[in-house]
Structure 1
Amino acid sequence: MGVTILDHAKNPVEHGRIRLPTGVRIHYYTAGRGPALLLQHGVRQLYEKTHHACSPSETLTGAKQIPKTGYYWRKVIPYLTSSFTVVVPDLRGVGDSSHPDNGYDMGTVADDLADLMAALGHRTFHIAGEDWGAAAAYQVAARYPDRVLSLVFQEMLLPGFGLEDWAQFRPDRPETHLWHVSFYYVRDVPEMLLIGREREYLTWFIKNEAYDPSSIDDDAIDEYVTKYSQPGGIRSMCNIYRATETNVRQNREAARTKLAMPVLAVGAGSFIGAEVKKQMERVAENVTYAEFHYGHQLAEECPEILGQRYVTFLKSL
């Protein structure tokens, strides 16, 4: 399922699974050479398409959502692996990682990631996360400041600092109304409605109102639908949102001490955009901002310029 993920030299990445001290088994892939860079995917994927989704001159419209896995980073990997040893895990409960009943708050997920990197022999590392992966990456940086060399925080609103507000309908930003935050939070009902209908539901989220539905890669749809159709897939996805109250408490507590390591805040001009910069300035001391004129799904829409921006930031440290 999906295409083979290759590094800069067109060698396939190495896949593996590690059982962590908590008992959770995490699937990951790794490739490259140099300092360690952990890439953490999110849960919500938005495609915002026009004729040419990777042209900075285009205006992007029609945002639709689908859950994702570590497969999200496949197009960015070749631009990173000549300079960094890249590690790309699936979140607990996602993809080929195990699907436990609990532990979906970002503090616990952060501990997973720190344990994974230690098990792979990376005591210190850079970390980049997008969407919920950015919320997890922030918690890694806050909990393990002696291990995290830098943070890339991409296209996310932290619970406790704005996510809840954006889940409310606002006529001035209907395209970014995060209604699903409240929907997935409800117990049992999302599972009742979605299990057995994963392909119909997730494909609709991608293609409905897209300018050119045929421009969405079939391999991405197949990968995410297959993974979220596994036993526990939809339940685990919803449980990430059901941990929001715990995440609020964790983030507000962590924000009492601002991050000292360099932070690159990355925003998509047609989605969260500069709000990402404001988020990081509330919780970190040394923030650089980069904005791209694409949609929320930057690693799909403009992987080359995104990867190059990561490298420029990381090599400047």
Structure 2
Amino acid sequence: MKQALFTKEDKYTMVDHQGTPVHSDRASVNGTSLHYRFAGTGAPVVLLHGIPKTGYHWRHLLPLLSDQYTVIVPDLRGLGDSDHPATGYDSATMSDDIAALMAQLGHDTYHVVGEDWGAVIGYQLAVRHPQQVKALVFAEALLPGFNFEQHTALTPENAAGLFLWHVGFYFKADVPEMLIAGHERELITYLIKSERRFPDTATADALDEYVRCYSLPGGIRSMLAVYRAMLVDGQQNRQAAQTKLTLPVLALGGDAFIGENNEGIMRQVAHNVTGHVFHAGHDLAEEVPKEMAAVLLPFLAAHS
């Protein structure tokens, strides 16, 4: 790995357990270019962020892991400071991006921690690369093909509970791009704060960074492309689930959002599942990072 350091004056610097700025680099993999950060020593752990976030989402959790693990934090295809290709936004292709990155970095085996869409991609990574993935953490995510789509329907039950209104909106071609352009901050701030139990954890630096990245040329297009691949993802996941995962899976939820349903979803697609629910909303690594690390570290240690 090359060692291009951020400066300590950088507002958006991520630091390791010693307060040292993490390293940053790019890699050409699977027909695109990914930006990634890395820090620490020991067995590798890759952290996969969701939407509308970037690898910066993990800034609080990374230093709680980097004294024991080599932590790799990519920006997913089309997101963050990674490139914005025209295609390849289904979760299988995006998981192959990560597999190629980890192989290029020399990691034959590794743990995968994913949240939101990063967890969906993490599931496909475990399915498609079972010899490389030692354990999977599936945090605060619904899985296409397994009741995700049902939460997009306008029903009394959804309207009173987990109604994912934005998914259908994103599926309409061209109109979301038109309406979101120039209003990236309003959309991202609303989505992130409304899905948390503790909205004040959506700090100004994080919101600024997310808005910066999604406002880049191709940023919103790429975000929408991930959602627009959801029906393909559902087909991929149903096919994959015909053979359940045998590796250890830790399903993590926040009681104010998906909660214990994370464990139920994983039990449909994996044999060896344990679960934990936090007093939190959708963004565990920003809302309750210390509590998350306290559950995550023993699980990783048990399967290293």
The structure 2 residue matched to 1:308, chosen from 290, 294, 300, is 294
Q: Give the match for residue 10 of structure 1.
A: 19
Q: Tell me if structure 2 keeps the 8 A contact 1:6–1:78.
A: yes
Q: Give the match for residue 53 of structure 1.
A: none
Deviation at 1:197, TM superposition (A): 1.9
Q: Give the match for residue 82 of structure 2.
A: 97
**C-alpha distance in structure 2 between counterparts of 1:172 and 1:205, whole Å:** 20
Which residue identity does 1:79 align to in structure 2?
L
Q: Give the match for residue 5 of structure 2.
A: none
The structure 2 residue matched to 1:195, chosen from 181, 193, 199, is 181
SS at match of 1:17: strand
Where does structure 1 lack aligned partners over 5 or more consecutive residues? Answer: 44-66
Q: Give the match for residue 226 of structure 1.
A: 212
Deviation at 1:292, TM superposition (A): 0.3
**C-alpha distance in structure 1 between counterparts of 2:192 and 2:144, whole Å:** 25
The structure 2 residue matched to 1:27, chosen from 28, 35, 40, is 35
**C-alpha distance in structure 2 between counterparts of 1:131 and 1:213, whole Å:** 17
What CA deviation, in whole Å up to 9, does each residue of 1:146-195 have, x standing for no partner? Answer: 11000000111110001101112343453521111111111111001111
Q: Tell me if structure 2 keeps the 8 A contact 1:2–1:220.
A: no
Deviation at 1:209, TM superposition (A): 10
**C-alpha distance in structure 1 between counterparts of 2:197 and 2:35, whole Å:** 34
Where does structure 2 lack aligned partners over 5 or more consecutive residues? Answer: 1-9
**C-alpha distance in structure 1 between counterparts of 2:195 and 2:144, whole Å:** 28
Q: Tell me if structure 2 keeps the 8 A contact 1:79–1:308.
A: no
Q: Does 2:258 match 1:258?
A: no
Question: Higher relative contact order at CA 8 Å, sep ≥6: structure 1 or structure 2?
Answer: 1
SS at match of 2:156: coil
**C-alpha distance in structure 2 between counterparts of 1:111 and 1:2, whole Å:** 32
Q: RMSD in angstroms over aligned alpha carbons?
A: 1.8
Which residue identity does 2:12 align to in structure 1?
V
Q: Give the match for residue 36 of structure 1.
A: 44
**C-alpha distance in structure 2 between counterparts of 1:153 and 1:23, whole Å:** 26
Q: Give the match for residue 82 of structure 1.
A: 67
Pair 4,285 (structure 1): closer, same or farther in 2 beyond 3 Å: same
**C-alpha distance in structure 1 between counterparts of 2:120 and 2:167, whole Å:** 14
Q: Does 2:285 match 1:299?
A: yes
Which residue identity does 1:35 align to in structure 2?
A
**C-alpha distance in structure 1 between counterparts of 2:201 and 2:146, whole Å:** 35
**C-alpha distance in structure 1 between counterparts of 2:77 and 2:97, whole Å:** 8
TM-score w.r.t. length of structure 1: 0.88
Deviates more, 1:170-179 or 1:125-134: 170-179
**C-alpha distance in structure 1 between counterparts of 2:43 and 2:207, whole Å:** 32
Deviation at 1:2, TM superposition (A): 4.2
Which residue identity does 1:182 align to in structure 2?
G
Q: How many residue pairs end up in the alignment? A: 293
Deviation at 1:4, TM superposition (A): 1.5
**C-alpha distance in structure 2 between counterparts of 1:210 and 1:156, whole Å:** 14
Pair 211,136 (structure 1): closer, same or farther in 2 beyond 3 Å: closer
SS at match of 1:158: coil
Pair 273,124 (structure 1): closer, same or farther in 2 beyond 3 Å: same
Pair 207,311 (structure 1): closer, same or farther in 2 beyond 3 Å: closer
State percent identity of aligned pairs.
50
The structure 2 residue matched to 1:274, chosen from 223, 237, 260, is 260
Pair 118,212 (structure 1): closer, same or farther in 2 beyond 3 Å: closer
Q: Give the match for residue 62 of structure 1.
A: none
- How is 1:123-202 mapped onto 2 (pairs within 5 angstroms)? 123-173=108-158, 174-202=160-188
**C-alpha distance in structure 2 between counterparts of 1:40 and 1:208, whole Å:** 21
Q: Tell me if structure 2 keeps the 8 A contact 1:2–1:223.
A: no
TM-score w.r.t. length of structure 2: 0.92
